[in-house]
Amino acid sequence: MAKKEKILVLDDDPAVTLSCQRILGVEGYSITTVARGEDAIKRVSSEEFDLLISDVRLPDISGITVLKETKLIQPKMDVAIITGYPTLEDARESVRLGAFEFLEKPFTPEFMLNMARRVFDERGWILRKAFIDEFRNSIVDLRDQDNPVLFYKEGTWARPLKGGMWEVGCDLRYLLLEGQMVYVELTDKLPALVAGESFGQVVLGDGRSHELLAPMTGRVRELNMGANNAVSELVRDNLAQGWLLWLARIAPIEGARL
């Protein structure tokens, strides 16, 4: 089961804390709210949180003070400062003390969600970097803006590479919905891919198999011989989100359809 990120919201305005509970809670985050800075510091001292969202103006102490104190207690906890009275001084001090975001109220639900996602996407990227480095030759990172995926077909995809080559593979997230992936079987001595035709299959843990249909036609120049090593790690650690598995690199045949 995926970890449920814990967020502490500090604001003396009930409308703000209720909005955060509704906006972030519906996305699966665990939300705790407090109205006083001292209470927030006590909670952080006794409980681990992934993110603190704090107002600057509070009834007892400044949110900047809360930021400073809580970062000393939990240095790895991210902090977002929100305020209805933004000043350059507060913004500079917040960033200097380690705040991830400095936000002006009022904010829209989508704005708040995007802020939380940026925090946790950035954290997840750091934690997963070692894995990506180990299996870099087998997986495609969806953050790669230089060679974007352009085509999907029944869980498969294709994207252009430099030099006129194309990369073809499968979407692990799509296949994981059908069952536990065990291994990928590619057709022996595969000379070419033909659009719409099978070029291999994925065998699932319950014995079923999923045919891999080629999204485009082209001559095979390279097969991913390390694909199954990456697959086993992706399934075991549930790290498939955001990555694709490439299976073949091909040279398009002139006049063939995509």
The verdict on 155 and 55 lying in the same domain is: no
Which of 6-10, 21-25, 119-123 is predicted with the least confidence, judged by mean pLDDT? 119-123
Task: Quickly state the pLDDT bin for 108 (edges 50, 70, 90).
Answer: confident
Judge whether residue 239 has pLDDT over 50: no
Average the pLDDT over 65-75 and give the result: 92
The verdict on 79 and 153 lying in the same domain is: no
* Length in residues, the chain: 258
- Alpha carbons within 13 A on the beta-carbon side of 31: 21
* Domain edge (last residue) among 108, 128, 148: 128
In this structure, what CATH number is given to the domain that contains residue 241? 2.40.50.100
Domain that holds residue 86: 6-128
Residue 53 CB contacts under 8 Å (≥ 6 apart), including other chains:
7, 8, 9, 10, 11, 20, 79, 80, 82
pLDDT tens-digit profile of 201-233? 888 767 778 888 888 899 999 998 888 877 766
The 3-state DSSP class for residue 134 equals helix
Residue 176 in domain: yes
The verdict on 161 and 189 lying in the same domain is: yes
Average the pLDDT over 163-189 and give the result: 74
Residue 240 in domain: yes
C-alpha dist (Å) from residue 226 to 143, 148, 179, 193: 21, 22, 21, 19
User: Can you give the pLDDT at residue 147?
Assistant: 67
119 vs 191, higher pLDDT: 191
**Does the predicted TM-score (pTM) go above 0.85?**
no
